[in-house]
Structure 1
Amino acid sequence: MSHLKDKTVMVTGASSGFGLACAKAFAQKGCKVIAAARRKERLQDLKEELKQELGEDRVFVLPLDVTSEEQVDSMFNAIPEEFSDIDILVNNAGLALGLEPAHQADLTDWNRMVDTNIKGLYLMTRKVLPGMVERKSGHVINIGSIAGTYAYPGGNAYGATKAFVKQFSRNLRADLLGTQVRVTNIEPGLAETEFSLVRFHGNQEKADNIYKGTNPLTADDIAESVLWAAEQPQHVNINSIELMPTSQTWAALAIDKVLG
């Protein structure tokens, strides 16, 4: 039996993609799961699906916009007592919007990425962390991206937000020394979820072209990495996991050749 059994896990962005896969994976390991996201109907579907599969109700649905400081501050009032001591926080809520060069990018897209990928992540962390420190037990798992390390055209603000996730995770580790609270940053490469559909504002053709001819990572691949990091013995902290599909690697440095 996994030592994760009966631990309480909160997953943000749990209505689709990585978050949905993580919520399922932890529930299947016997965890109590707080599934948080804006789309309540999808969360309810997840709750019913797992109840039928597992024969018991292990999911608490929490409609939540992580960018709202007011909602994050008040969220614990909605959580039942049996779910209130959060052992593992999976900061998954995030998105990319647009692929235009910086001088053509939509500032609305930039602002939304900063609000979700940065502000939402630190608001949730700051809310949950004091309880973990007090209990001298806990694990913060942040979903970053290889975009936080490797630049690519059009990645401008998105890559910068994921660089924040990388450095914030490292600084959390420094702050939490001696508390027994662990921190992990998961950094996926090309993965097929609703990610590109959101990035291109619902343009299915554009989204499909990103994955055409590739064999990308799946949401389940990412959930397995998250679960593996969480299942390590208490004295082991997985600082980061960087994973790409075999069909993806680093690009050559770009050079603009000006011919006279």
Structure 2
Amino acid sequence: MDIRGKVVIVTGASSGIGEATARRFGGEGAKVVLAARRVERLEALAQEINSMNTGAKTLVVQADLSKLEDIQRMINETLEKFGRIDVLVNNAGFGRLDWLEKLDPLKDIQAQFDVNVMGVIQTTRQALPVMIKQRSGHIINMCSMAGLVGTPTYTIYSACKHAVHGFSEALRREVEPWGIHVSMIYPGGVVTEFAQHAGIRRKTKATTPKALLLTADQVGEAVVKLTRKPRAMWIIPWVWTFSVWMNRHLNWLVDRATVNRFTIPEREEELKAD
């Protein structure tokens, strides 16, 4: 796909992967719809993209992706300004990482499903009739390695990303006859604001090796590449495919390693108290 002039919606565009992805599309001369709650950040990004001299155009839409009325307004404003939707990047999402019994039922559990799952489904549902009418389009869902390999303290976030995986896989087989692509991208560890807002508390040093950490811009670049050459799913960096294989074929070994090296050390004080 030639990206210049294409209409691209990027949700969660105010920071991190969404911001980097929108910037990358702007650099390619796309018409970029920037959607998120923090409108002042979107406006600053729009100004940056408009000054690139690539022919890019922008539309800023303040939207809470957990609210259907905001999603519908985003789609309507996109059509009013640009008349079509070529690419939808479902990136908006957040995590609250802790032991399940410590997560708040509404603020931590329900809220994650509202944005990370229902936000993706409802946004896709609103954009899909447009793409069907066009008989073209590309839906890119930002997944996570947590959607392929379950990790302690990621229970709800992992469940959300597993749900998006299943949704994307079924949808791909549903809309392919209309010329619509559905892709999933699975980044490993990414340096973003995610960790700052996820409530991560660690006693151990069980973290992603620095050599495997991605920048938001690297993920944004991968999204653009995926738009040019669609594929069903892409794990980045590729080395994480080994973890997926291990989790599927040597699940018992992954269980033992995770529990012994992470869960028990992290919960040592609680285990002693019991």
TM-score > 0.5 by shorter chain: yes
Q: 1:186 to 1:57 in 2, by over 3 A?
A: closer
Number of the residue aligned with 1:218: 215
Structure 1: gaps of 5 or more residues: none
Which residue in 2 is equivalent to 1:101?
Answer: 99
Are 1:196 and 1:210, in contact at CA under 8 Å, matched by a contact in 2? Answer: no
Aligned-partner residue type, residue 133 of structure 2? E
User: Secondary structure of the equivalent of 1:200?
Assistant: coil
Residues 188-207 of structure 1: pairs in structure 2 closer than 5 A: 188-200=187-199
Q: Judging by fraction of residues, say which structure has more helix.
A: 2
The match for 1:185 is 184
Q: Distance in 2 between matches of 1:150 and 1:117?
A: 17
Contact 2:29 2:54 in 1 (8 A): no
The code of the aligned residue for 1:180 comes to: G
Deviation at 1:57, TM superposition (A): 5.8
Partners of 2:217 and 2:52 in 1: how far apart?
A: 17
Instruction: Tell me, yes or no, if the aligned pair for 1:191 and 1:219 is still in contact at 8 Å.
Output: yes
Q: CA deviation at 1:135?
A: 0.7
How many residue pairs match? The answer is: 246
How many Å apart are 1:245 and its aligned residue?
A: 8.1
Query: CA contact under 8 A between 1:190 and 1:244: conserved in structure 2?
Result: no
Please, what TM-score do these two structures have when normalized by structure 1? 0.86
Provide the identity percentage. Answer: 33
1:112 aligns with 2:111: yes
What pairs up with 1:7-156 in 2 under 5 angstroms? Answer: 7-54=6-53, 58-79=57-78, 81-98=80-97, 100-107=98-105, 108-156=107-155
Could you report, residue by residue, the CA deviation over 1:87-120 in whole angstroms, capped at 9, with x for unpaired residues? Answer: 000000011112x222222222111110110011
- Partner amino acid for 1:214? K
The Cα RMSD (Å) is 2.4
Partner of 2:268: none
Q: Deviations over 1:16-63 (max 9, x none)?
A: 011001101111111000000000000000011122232756111111
Deviation at 1:78, TM superposition (A): 3.1
Whichever residue aligns with residue 226 of structure 1, its letter is V
- Helix, strand or coil for the counterpart of 2:89? strand
In 2, are the aligned partners of 1:47 and 1:57 still within 8 Å (CA)?
A: no
Change (3 A) 1:254 1:76: closer
Deviation of 1:168 (Å): 0.7
The Cα shift of 1:79 comes to 3.5
Q: Deviations over 1:199-229 (max 9, x none)?
A: 028x9xx7xx886962411111111111111
Aligned mates of 1:249, 1:218 — CA distance in 2 = 21
- For 2:138 and 2:76, the matched residues in 1 are separated by 22
1:168-213 C-alpha deviation (Å, 9 max, x unpaired): 1101111113100000001111111011011028x9xx7xx88696
**What residue in structure 2 maps to residue 240 of structure 1?**
233
**Post-superposition shift, 1:124?**
0.5
Q: Classify the secondary structure of the residue corresponding to 1:90.
A: strand
Q: Distance in 1 between matches of 2:30 and 2:96?
A: 33
Verify the 8 A CA contact 2:12 2:18 in the aligned structure 1: yes
Task: Letter of the 2:128 partner, please give it.
Answer: L
Give the structure 2 partner of residue 253 of structure 1: 254
Corresponding residue SS for 2:5: coil
Contiguous gaps of at least 5 residues in structure 2: 247-252, 261-274
Answering whether residue 228 of structure 2 is matched by residue 227 of structure 1, we say: no
